[in-house]
Amino acid sequence: AKAMGLNMCGVDLLRSQNGPMVMEVNSSPGLEGIEKATGKNVAGMVFEFLEKNAKPHDTKTRGKG
């Protein structure tokens, strides 16, 4: 996320003989697959994190967060 200038993102990885390879970075990731695979409400966990940690106008993006 930091390398792409994003606060949050999804990263698609593949295993290779040379270690993990980044295939895609999504600024608006879908969570259906990871929620199904883990059985966890990932979207809910993200919202809980944001509620606890978000501060008005504290953004690392170029916009006026």
Task: For residue range 5-54, list pLDDT tens digits in order.
Answer: 887 888 999 999 999 999 999 988 889 988 999 999 999 998 898 888 87
pLDDT the model gives residue 63: 58
Q: Which CATH superfamily is domain 2-53 in?
A: ATP-grasp fold, B domain (3.30.470.20)
The pTM of the full predicted model, rounded to 2 decimals, is 0.57
pLDDT the model gives residue 60: 64
What is the spatial distance between Cα 65 and Cα 58, in angstroms, rounded to a whole number?
6
pLDDT the model gives residue 62: 62
The domain segmentation of the chain, as residue ranges, is: 2-53
Region of residue 5 (left: phi > 0; alpha: psi -120 to 50; beta: else) = left
